[in-house]
């Protein structure tokens, strides 16, 4: 009996691989708009798609980032300055894209711009949460709504960068909150746009070394400094030092191979049959996502016994 089961699973896997290898035709005529191209995933994806001959419209936060990207790519790639937290910037970028895509519409929208802070919730103020939500969630939503008529015209793709922390929260702060929101928005968008032939994909990376990882220690200490004296007494300096070490060690173990993520993005944009979700990185596939399916009491117990306790909890 088990032989038939293995045969069925093997046949299904083979058919799926064959189906997913079918590539969209006339890629050289298709425009893709990518946010957050100064560095990291967005920068690499822009260069990757440019090498493939697609017409890349890369949005950068700074002119320096835009210039550096242009120096590394062909004349096909064009850049625009975009701050996803400002409506006027999004409106201007949308008009800029519209002028370039014309009646063909926008084949691909990649919402990649992001910001991350991992800290204890009680150390934060409302403004600290709002800053992350403005970039990772509200900015992404506004960019998407602004660009949707162009994507719908091309019957194209929306690719939203979430995280494994959109499936399971490991740290406090607004990052996981924003990524849970990305997951929910993407799911509703996928169902709504399916009637128009538009496909929506979610990228869920594990741990990767990007510009977001560079300043965690200094940011955590800054947030600790703004906490009240009562909070500092409750947690204690020993907890702070242990927490910083934990974050630092996690960053050091992150993968440097960003192509594991950008290859997923490229497949979502170029395959005739893209996946709904892409898990990027061995830690996402083998650790974080399986853990997210565990009963809550087991995952809570894992974090409880593996983490440092606040001073007044000892």
Coil, helix or strand at residue 173:
coil
Whether 175 is catalytic: yes
Q: Which of 4, 115, 175, 304 is catalytic?
A: 175
**Residue 64: which region, alpha, beta or left (left: phi > 0; alpha: psi -120 to 50)?**
alpha
End-to-end Cα distance, the chain = 54
- Torsion from C-alpha of 238, 239, 243, 246, nearest 10 degrees: 70
Strand partners of residue 60: 81
Coil, helix or strand at residue 156:
coil
Check: CB of residue 288 under 8 Å from CB of residue 168: yes
Q: Which residue has the tokens 């993407």?
A: 186
Which H or E element spans position 249? helix 229-252
Check: CB of residue 57 under 8 Å from CB of residue 100: yes
Coil, helix or strand at residue 196:
helix
Active site residues: 175
């Amino acid at each position: 009996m088990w032989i038939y089961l293995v045969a069925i699973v093997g046949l299904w896997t083979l058919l799926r691989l064959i189906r997913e290898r079918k590539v969209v035709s006339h890629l050289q005529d298709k425009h893709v708009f990518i946010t957050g191209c100064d560095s990291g995933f967005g920068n690499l994806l822009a260069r990757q798609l440019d090498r493939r001959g697609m017409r890349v419209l890369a949005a950068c936060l700074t002119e320096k980032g835009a210039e550096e990207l242009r120096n590394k790519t062909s004349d096909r790639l064009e850049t625009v300055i975009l701050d996803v937290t400002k409506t006027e910037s999004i409106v201007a970028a949308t008009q800029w894209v519209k002028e370039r895509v014309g009646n063909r519409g926008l084949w691909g929208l990649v919402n990649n711009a992001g910001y991350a802070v991992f800290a204890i919730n009680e150390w934060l103020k409302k403004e600290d949460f709002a800053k992350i939500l403005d970039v990772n969630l509200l900015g992404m939503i506004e960019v998407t709504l602004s660009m949707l008529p162009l994507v719908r015209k091309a019957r194209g793709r929306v690719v939203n960068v979430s995280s494994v922390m959109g499936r399971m929260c490991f740290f406090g702060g607004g990052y996981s909150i924003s990524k849970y929101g990305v997951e929910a928005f993407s799911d509703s968008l996928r169902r709504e746009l399916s009637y128009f032939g538009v496909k929506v994909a979610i990228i869920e990376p594990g741990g990767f070394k990007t510009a977001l990882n560079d300043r965690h220690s200094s940011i955590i200490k800054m947030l600790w400094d703004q906490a009240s004296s009562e909070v500092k007494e409750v947690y204690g300096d020993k907890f702070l030092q242990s927490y910083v070490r934990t974050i630092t060690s996690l960053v050091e173990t992150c993968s440097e191979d960003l192509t594991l993520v950008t290859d997923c993005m490229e497949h979502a944009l170029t395959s005739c049959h893209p996946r709904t979700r892409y898990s990027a990185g061995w830690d996402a596939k083998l650790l974080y996502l399986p853990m997210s399916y565990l009963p809550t009491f087991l995952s809570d117990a894992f974090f409880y016994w593996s983490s440092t306790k606040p001073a007044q909890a000892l």
